[in-house]
Amino acid sequence: MAGVTVFAVLFLHAESQEEVMGLTLGAAAALLLLARFGWNALAAVSFAGHSRTGQAAVLIGVLIIAAVFYDQHFPLLMLASVLLYIVVCLGLNLQFGYAGVLNFAGAAFFGVGCYTAAVLTSHTSLPHLAVVLIGGLMAAGIGSLLILPVLRTHGHYAALVTIAFSILFRVFLEVNDTLGGPQGMKVQGMEILGWKLNDSLAFGEIEISFYANYVVLALVMAAVAFMLVRRLERSWIGLNLDAVRLDETACAAFGIDVARWKITAFTLGNFLTGLAGSVYAMMTGFVAPNSFTFGDSLILVSIVILGGLGNPWGLSVAAAIVLMLPEKLQFIQEYRLLLYAALVILILLFRPGGLMPRQVRSYLPGWKP
């Protein structure tokens, strides 16, 4: 864990392209070496076993990274974005990693959260915590408009529903003048109980970037979402979701209410996505339709698949890689979509379980028969 933290610090710190490239290759080599000795399996087991310590180590790691870059905007913005994307991908993971409900409109639901924040902060004086909550509820609510066609249809037909929605949403934003059209909208910075997140903190000489506030907030959100999803997976509900994904006929024969669990997963997933979206909008101060394209939805899907469907740890790592690599390796930036798409194809062909395949469910951390 300490190693990973140091690496992340170095990575975010690296300025020149060569440094970044070197670090990336180094990490890849280290991972291959680990895999060669079967250490990653060991790490997976130890994650499962010493869940508490592992989680605490990750939290501390993130805080250390934030502390190292306390006065720089960009790395902190990056860090907070990764954390918020993790929340989104946890939501998507609930939907198609567990319940098997395809959602190719992840970016659209994220956009619902963003635009809710934009509209509510500029036209009302609602407390911002309530705005975030409403952002989540709006995404869940709009999702529930889609749930009927999603439930009535299967497989490919259901995929069409979310794809159609994803495109519809983007076009809607572009032509809708009250939402700013293609130019988008400005969003106010966040304020929780008098704590203005957009003000830099200063302790005497030391001035801390205001993004540090958002890192803390995003970290709390990611941690809570992570815990929620983990608990869900390690429960009868997680089992129901898996069963719904794997065999609907068997579900019916054993009393599992397919519709109920699909709705639960879809709504909860969209709620998380909407929450993250509204915080993200307040952090960046600006929303525009261009950030919510079908391509962005596909990137979200790639993250979940790359990490390993159903594995929250895997998707967290994948989110960090997918978001940070193109930012740091400028020459990748232009090619990132091509690169990820090709990578996902390779994964699907040769390692369908993703980089960190999901393990068999253990209901209680550390429990042994």
Partner 1 sequence: MSTLLTCDSLSMRFGGLVALNQLSLAVSAGEILGLIGPNGSGKTTFFNVITGIYQASEGRVDYLGHDLARMRAQDIYRAGVTRTFQRSRLCLPLSIFDNLMIGNHRRLNHSLWFNLVRRSAFRAQFEEQYAQALALVRTFSQSLAERLFEAAGSVNMIDRRRIEICRALISQPTLLLLDEPSAGMTHEETRELMDDILIVREHMPGLAIIIIEHEMNVIERITERCIVLNYGQKICEGPYAQVAADRQVQEAYLGTE
Partner 2 sequence: MTLGLLSQYVFNSLMLGMIYAMVAVGFTLFFGVLDIIKFSHGDVLMVGAFTGLATYLGLEALGVDSALVQLLVMTLVATLSMALLGALIAKYLVLPLRLAPPLNTLLLTLMLGTVLREAVRLFYPQGSNPKPFPRLLPADSISFGSFTLRADSVILLLAGLAAIVAVHLLINRTKLGLAIRAVAQDAETARIMGINFEFIVLLTFAIGSGMAALGGLMNGLYYNEINFGIGLLLGVIGFSAAVVGGLGNIYGAILGGFLFSALQSVGAVTLPALFPGTSTAYKDVFAFAVVIIFMVWRPTGLIAEKKSERV
Q: Residues in the site for partner 1, rule: CB under 8 A?
A: 228, 231-232, 235-237, 239-240, 242-243, 246-247, 249-257, 264, 360-364, 369
**Which of partner 2, partner 1, none sits in contact with 239, Cβ below 5 to 8 A by type?**
partner 1
Q: What are 192's strand-pairing partners? A: 195
Task: Please state the separation of Cα 198 from the chain's center in Å.
Answer: 23
In this structure, the number of other CB atoms found within 10 A of the CB of residue 150 comes to: 24
d(CA 11, CA 83): 17
Residues 313-342 that bind partner 2 (CB under 8 A): 334-335, 337-338, 340-342
- Per-residue tokens: 4: 């990973």
Q: Tokens 């205001």 map to which residue?
A: 210
Q: Tell me: does residue 345 bind partner 2 (CB under 8 A).
A: yes
303-333 exposure pattern, b = at least 16 Cβ within 10 A, e = fewer: bbbbbbbbbbbbbbbbbbbbbbbbbbbeebe
Nearer to partner 1, 193 or 253 (CB): 253
Nearer to partner 1, 192 or 224 (CB): 224
**Which of partner 2, partner 1, none sits in contact with 27, Cβ below 5 to 8 A by type?**
none
- Per-residue tokens: 314: 């895997």
Q: In which element (H, E) is residue 185 found? A: strand 185-186
Q: Tell me: does residue 258 bind partner 2 (CB under 8 A).
A: no
Amino acid at position 279, single letter: V
Q: Tell me: does residue 92 bind partner 2 (CB under 8 A).
A: no
Residues 164-193 that bind partner 2 (CB under 8 A): 164-165, 167-168, 171-172, 174-175
Residues lying near partner 2 in the complex (CB under 8 A) = 96, 100, 102, 104, 146, 148-149, 152-157, 159-161, 163-165, 167-168, 171-172, 174-175, 249, 294-295, 298, 301-302, 305, 334-335, 337-338, 340-342, 344-345, 348-349, 352
